[in-house]
Amino acid sequence: MQFGKGKVVAADVIYRDSKAKPESRVIRFPDRWYTREYPPKESLPDGKPWFLYPGPPNDLTLACGPIELSHPATLKAVLATATVKRPAGTYDKVRTTFYQGRITLGELYKANSAFRVPVNAKPVGEYAKIPVTWKLWLGKDQLVRRCRSSYARPIIVPGMHSDERFRHTEDIRLSSWGTKANIQPPPTDQVATYDDLDPPE
């Protein structure tokens, strides 16, 4: 990830499936994002493995599940619910302090009014009460070196009741804080747009 003026301004992410399926890569900027799958989709023209998705503006964040680590007020609210604090191991050559606790989706929304749950909805009603268990490893510089979050949400949209739950667990490790990043878009001649796709028959 690339930061600028305290915000995430670009991200370059590679997704690998645990079952060894083809990986994919996404490069995001505030106003556009590019995707590439391995192997490329058959619908893309030869020599253009990337596809451009223009706008709407992307809200680039550094997140650990529903916890937006790049939002100071959210991180402060999460740490305020800590029930465990103790010295921990070393991550990225930095000694860390371990924190553990639980916060609800509603409390995350109070800390950040832009927070949304799946299907881009505000966490109200049943969603607001859903607990998120979390673990954080912070260095002396207060930068996150590791985060683990877990919560179970209804499979259907907010406002509709369901006894079924989808368990979402995320464990991320962050390193090389302070390293200068320069994320660039893929070469123009390798990028396809909607105009390059074959029209449906």
User: How far is CA 133 from its chain centroid?
Assistant: 17
Tally DSSP H helices, then E strands, for the chain.
2, 13
- For residue 162, the model assigns a pLDDT of 59
Domain coordinates in residue numbering, the chain = 1-61+182-201, 63-173
Contact predicate 174/184, CB 8 Å: no
Sign of CA dihedral 69, 74, 76, 79: negative
Question: Residues 38-49: what's their mean pLDDT?
Answer: 79
Residue 200 pLDDT > 50: no
**pLDDT digit string, tens, across residues 151-190:** 987 765 555 565 677 888 999 988 888 888 889 999 999 9
* pLDDT band for position 47 (cuts 50, 70, 90): confident
| Listed ranges 6-15, 49-58, 117-126, 184-193; the one with the highest mean pLDDT | 184-193
Helices (H), the chain: 72-79, 105-111
